[in-house]
Amino acid sequence: MLRELQITNLAIIDRLHVEFSPGLNILTGETGAGKSIIIDAVNLILGGRGSADLIRSGAKEASVEAVFDLSGRDGLLQALAQAGIECDGELLVRRVVAAGGKSRVFIGGGLATTSLLSEICRNLINIYGQHDAQSLLKTEQHLLLLDGYCGALPLRADFAARYEQCQAAKHELQALEAGEREAARRLDLLAFQSNEIAEAKLTPGEEEELAEERARLAHSEKLMGASQGAFDALYGGEATLLGSLASIIAGVADAGRIDPALAPVTEALEAAYAQLEDASLTLRDYAARVESDPARLEEIEDRLDAIGRLKKKYGASIGEILEYQRQVDQELSVLTNLEGTRGELQQRIAQLEQELAALGARLTRARQDGAQKLKQGMEHELAELAMKHAVFETSFEKSVDAKSYGFERAEFLFSPNPGEPPKPLAKIASGGELSRLMLALKQLHPDSEVPTLIFDEVDTGIGGATSALVGEKLKRVAREQQVLAITHLPQVAAFADQHLKVEKKVADGRTATGVELLEGEERVAEVARMLSGARVTEKTLEHARELIQEAVR
């Protein structure tokens, strides 16, 4: 709800701070006191147009600050969080209008845009009676209001969910059909690529093994010469290294029998001999295996060339080529099943369209029945609000194709006078009539996501016993939502949970508007003034007390 409003340098308001309470807040005051300026201030908070004409004479800028208590409004808190605005249950909104006409907006202490301000605050306040901030004047809201009234919102949500599923399936089918020709060409390409890779029969690590074998075959003579020559020098000839080492070992061993200190040297030489002997035998065996095979070398070269060609097309290594083949085969599987996919989508779309038709028929019946009940209820309520001959109807515009909300649009039609055909609200309803329409609607369907309602001039053209009915209806609405109502009728003011008096004062030669919270006899005096004008007597004071006491009862 709206907890506080602070207005600075707006029109004739110098500085004004108002605290509002839950329930019914009544604002009264003489004509021209500045009640409409408070509505203008709230309109700025709602994102309305800011004009330099609104700034108090002599000031550089005007500002409006509003504090909202969002306790228990989880939906609004979630919407704020999604917009990146931190809120612990209390939201501060500030709008500044500069002399140049430019506006600055602050939400939760951070700089924001007017469009974001409007998006957030339209979920916080509705003003009824001003044509630039009316949900009733927005035709797209009428069907939503009707669905809420007749309890069709869950059915509407089911319809919207099926509609989104159906649209998604249709888009998928359209994409499938649009890509069929391209799919056929791609199918041929992918089949060729898969076959080409498959026919190569690649194995991981094959290229490295072939490269090693090719190096051996290409240098077979050098490998054989090196290994055979080394063997001959170590072991195979007449004057070999091992022969010389054997003589050295014998000499050192003989000396070691004289001096035991040479024993470790002898052991080291004997170990070296054993290692060299093993190496020489390995070289002999290797030399025996080395062979020259030009045919095999040519075969390896061809195979490596083939692998190289595949690498240029499909990947930098055999592993990447095989991964590419896996992806190709996966896409081939999808493309070869296009007909099956098409059939499944067509079947799903048909099923969803049947479900939409059934849900849509139920929605239509619920809306038509609800519209008839709403007509009866609204005309009864309006009759109690001094509009006995008013006609309220709902016009439906059918659609062959489903929309997210069903198969029809709705628009409220209204005729305030006998003999006049009902017309769209936006074309015919005055501010006062619109306020009473909303008040009547709130009697029939009080639940709303908007926590604060402002009724401006709801009592226009009303008098006598009807005035008390307006107050009673406002009080009833205020049980569910916070209500701010500007009124000139004492019978309405008597129902206030909080009574605020707006009045002009002159200080230092300048006029300024102030707001005073009235309690006890002050409130009685204001109601008495509204009853009799400037001359308040004991009788009018007593009448005022009776009105307030009757309203309490």
Instruction: Reply yes or no on whether the pLDDT at 181 is more than 70.
Output: no
Q: What is the pLDDT of residues 89-127, one digit of tens each?
A: 889 999 998 887 788 899 887 888 888 888 888 888 888
Kindly report which listed range (294-298, 354-358, 477-481) carries the lowest average pLDDT score: 294-298
pLDDT of residue 126: 83
Instruction: Reply yes or no on whether the pLDDT at 133 is more than 70.
Output: no
One DSSP character per residue, 381-417 reads: HHHHTT-TT-EEEEEEEEEEEEETTEEEEEEEEEE-S
Instruction: Reply yes or no on whether the pLDDT at 244 is more than 90.
Output: no
Determine the residue type at 220: S
CB within 8 A of 217, min separation 6: which ones? 292, 293, 294, 296, 297, 300
pTM (global) more than 0.85: no
Report helix, strand or coil for 484: strand
pLDDT of residue 292: 73
Longest distance between any two alpha carbons in the chain, whole Å: 151
pLDDT of residue 132: 39
Instruction: Reply yes or no on whether the pLDDT at 512 is more than 80.
Output: no
Report the percent of the chain where pLDDT is more than 90.
27
Orientation angle between helical segments 153-178 and 180-200, nearest 10 degrees? 60
Q: What is the pLDDT of residues 441-475, one digit of tens each?
A: 888 886 567 889 888 876 766 666 778 888 888 89
Query: Average pLDDT over the chain, rounded to whole?
Result: 85
pLDDT of residue 391: 93
**Winning range, highest mean pLDDT, from 12-26, 215-229, 450-464:** 12-26
**Winning range, highest mean pLDDT, from 101-105, 158-162, 269-273, 317-321:** 158-162
Task: Delineate the domains of the chain, giving CATH numbers in brackets.
Answer: 1-135+445-518 (3.40.50.300), 185-336 (no CATH), 519-553 (no CATH)
Q: Give the residue-averaged pLDDT of 281-289.
A: 78
Dist. CA 381–CA 366, nearest whole Å: 22
Instruction: Reply yes or no on whether the pLDDT at 386 is more than 50.
Output: yes
- Closest-CA residue to 7 (of 31, 33, 40): 40
275 contacts 282 by C-beta, under 8 angstroms: no
pLDDT of residue 359: 96
Q: Give the residue-averaged pLDDT of 470-494.
A: 89
